[in-house]
Amino acid sequence: MPTTAITTRRIFLASSAELADHRREFEMAVRRRNDLWIEQGAYLRPIVWEDFLDALSKTRLQDEYNREIRRCDVFVMLYRSKVGRYTEEEFATAVGQFQATSRPFIFTYFCDSPDDRATASAGDLQSLHSFQQKLRELGHFQTVYSNTDQLCRHFGEQLEKLAANGFVRFERDREAGDGADHIRQAVVHGNGTIAQGDGPALAAGAVFIAGNHRGPIHTGPRIETGGGAYVGGNVKAGGDFVGRDRIVTQGVPASGIVALFAPLLSAVNEHAEPRSQAEARQRLAEIEAEVARGEQADDSRLARLLDALAALVPGAVASLVSTFASPPLAAAVGPVTRFVLGKLQAP
């Protein structure tokens, strides 16, 4: 009987002791999600500070936490009336790791409970306000919640979006007809022939591919069809894809970028505060420059730029999302950028 491969994703949960009940509810919600996903080959492993042995170590126990953060796929932070020194250190570790590797995905949840803040010390409140200012400087949005139902529901929605963008690969996504993966590969030199699947062998260097196949198909610098062509998946030619009447190049042509971003520039000019206009236009110029790099674009940098522009000009968010929904841009962005766009689009 075949076994199901399990894709494990690690979720590090950081919070102060005052939110212990919220932390337990969050863990339970993750485990309920596992009940739905485990049979499809996906498992979410929550990592909390209670998992660590509180014993004498050659290094600080906090160093162990930070090491786990660098290994995790998702970092979640809960805070209410204060942000302790170690919790802030954990957040900084997650941000540094994200900037270096585009992982982990970072979520910050602020519990809006005025009663607790009314009894908090001045030092605690200062730590909270300082941290929230740091988030604004990073262009990161905190999510406000009033109770654990809201917290768990929102995070569950984010997990679904992550899954839709390839964060996990369910077993059903890997099935191909009989439930097994099929990988076929062939290389032809000169004027030979090649056939993949149950189709005919085509001469003069032509390629015929049938069946279910994953991953890019690399053909060299050029594909010429001489007429019509149908592509059901992704074909990477490394240059031009040429049909009889049309030429489409990979990426977004530089000549078209200005036209694509013109509506967004208008929205930025209309909605940006006077003191933020120069910075907002600079962010937009950096976004355009990153998109113009085509395949060499830095997905995580582009995502951060979009997030920062949305924070500077909230009134332009709808235009930003619609701009990147246009086919040339939608096909060019990576998974981190798609995730940020989905977050911005969420109500």
Q: Give the span between the Cα atoms of 221 and 334, in whole angstroms.
A: 22
Tokens (6 digits) for 208: 């015929």
On whether residue 27 sits in a domain, the answer given is: yes
* Of 216, 220, 215, the residue nearest 206 (C-alpha): 220
Residues 129 and 258 in one domain: no
Residues 155 and 22 in one domain: yes
State which residues form the domain around 164: 7-173
Residues 45 and 159 in one domain: yes
Would you write out the chain's pLDDT as a tens digit for each of its 347 residues? 444 578 899 999 998 888 989 999 999 999 999 988 988 888 999 888 654 444 444 445 677 788 889 999 999 999 999 998 888 989 999 999 998 988 999 999 999 876 666 778 889 999 999 999 999 888 888 999 999 999 999 999 999 988 888 887 776 555 444 444 444 444 444 444 444 444 444 444 444 444 444 455 555 444 444 444 444 444 444 444 444 444 344 455 555 777 888 889 989 989 988 888 888 888 888 888 888 888 788 888 888 889 889 888 999 999 999 999 888 888 778 888 888 888 888 76
Tokens (6 digits) for 95: 């941000």
Number of domains in the chain: 2
CA 236 centroid distance within chain? 22
Residues 156 and 270 in one domain: no
| β-strand partners of 11 | 46, 74
User: Is the sign of the CA dihedral 339, 344, 345, 347 positive or negative?
Assistant: positive
Element housing 107 (H / E): strand 105-111
**pTM to 2 decimal places:** 0.52
Q: Examine the fold and report which residue of 158, 173, 188 is the final residue of a domain before the chain moves on.
A: 173
Residues 146 and 30 in one domain: yes
CB atoms within 10 A of CB 294: 14
On whether residue 80 sits in a domain, the answer given is: yes
On whether residue 198 sits in a domain, the answer given is: no
Residue 62, CA distances (Å) to 46, 65, 86, 93 in order: 17, 5, 7, 11
Amino acid, res. 22? H
Residue 44's CATH number: 3.40.50.10140
Residues 167 and 27 in one domain: yes
| β-strand partners of 236 | 218
Q: Examine the fold and report which residue of 148, 173, 198 is the final residue of a domain before the chain moves on.
A: 173
Residue 295, CA distances (Å) to 105, 239, 247, 286, 292 in order: 22, 11, 18, 16, 9
CB atoms within 10 A of CB 127: 20
Residues 168 and 290 in one domain: no
Residue 191, CA distances (Å) to 208, 217, 248, 295 in order: 14, 19, 26, 30
Tokens (6 digits) for 37: 């996903």
Residues 270 and 139 in one domain: no
Q: Which DSSP letter does residue 228 get?
A: -
Residues 136 and 285 in one domain: no
Residues 156 and 304 in one domain: no
Residues 116 and 21 in one domain: yes
Q: Give the span between the Cα atoms of 225 and 21, in whole angstroms.
A: 62
| β-strand partners of 77 | 14, 108
CB atoms within 10 A of CB 237: 19
Q: Examine the fold and report which residue of 173, 203, 232 is the final residue of a domain before the chain moves on.
A: 173
Q: Scanning the structure block, which residue is given the tokens 């805070």?
A: 79
On whether residue 226 sits in a domain, the answer given is: no
On whether residue 203 sits in a domain, the answer given is: no
